[in-house]
Amino acid sequence: MKIAPSKARGAPPRPLAARARSFDPTAPLSLAFVLLLATLVLLPMFWLVVTSFRDDAGRITLDHYWQFFTDASFLKPLFTTLWTSATVGALCVAVAAPMGWLVARTDLPAKRLLRILILASFVTPPFLGAFAWVLLGGPNAGLINQWYYGLFGLKAFEAAPLLNIFSAGGMVFVMILYTFPYVFTFVAKRPRYWACLRGEPRSM
């Protein structure tokens, strides 16, 4: 005697009200924003890459890249950018990583206040900070240099400024102030990681 295979019964259809409740109204809006972002960002980047391989007549060429990597007027800004990025990154890690570890793993005095002051830069608009440092560290009219000239009886346009925010060092200094909190937060928010590193040698 053969037993007829039973027919698999699917799940009962969900009521219309339940399906309406499970519908996420933000999904179409999120998709629309993604498409808008792709149109505003990816499309211009695509055409930028395409036109970089074409000359004025529309022919395919590599002359633009050859000029970029051989012309001194392009190489100097490139090396300046690389030097600035490397310097800012190295100094941020050298200063922010130990401070983040001290705040996360020690009983540093006033560490709560220190954390608040460092994280306050996240809510400070970058243009506001840049404008403030121009007012403070301008080589001739900056408040810090004006105080320095008046204290020692110097003239603004003859003596060297105490702080020149428009120099390479001033630029690195300001960029460190605004990238410092990212490294600090990355290190200070991982107490379990530091505890794991501290306990690892004991298990070996």
How do residues 53-65 score in pLDDT, each as one tens digit? 998 888 999 988 8
Q: How buried is residue 37: exposed, middle or buried, by Cβ count under 10 Å (0-12/13-18/19+)?
A: exposed
Phi and psi at 183, nearest 5°, equal -65, -40
Collapse the DSSP code of 20 into the 3-class scheme (helix H, G, I; strand E, B; otherwise coil) and give the result: helix
pLDDT of residue 68: 84
Q: Residue 187 to residues 29, 101, 115: CA-CA distances in angstroms?
A: 35, 6, 12
Which band of pLDDT confidence, cut at 50, 70 and 90, is reported for residue 45?
Answer: very high
Please give the average per-residue pLDDT across 117-124, as a whole number. 82
Overall fold of domain 72-203? MetI-like fold (1.10.3720)
CB atoms within 10 A of CB 196: 10
Per-residue pLDDT of 156-203, as tens digits, reads 778 888 889 999 899 999 999 888 888 998 888 776 555 565 555 555
Q: Where are the domains of the chain?
A: 25-70, 72-203
For residue 176, the number of C-alpha atoms closer than 13 Å in the C-beta half-sphere is 20
Please give the average per-residue pLDDT across 50-55, as a whole number. 91
For residue 120, the number of C-alpha atoms closer than 13 Å in the C-beta half-sphere is 8
Is residue 152 over pLDDT 60? yes
Q: What is the mean pLDDT of the chain?
A: 82
Instruction: State percent of the chain over pLDDT 90.
Output: 25
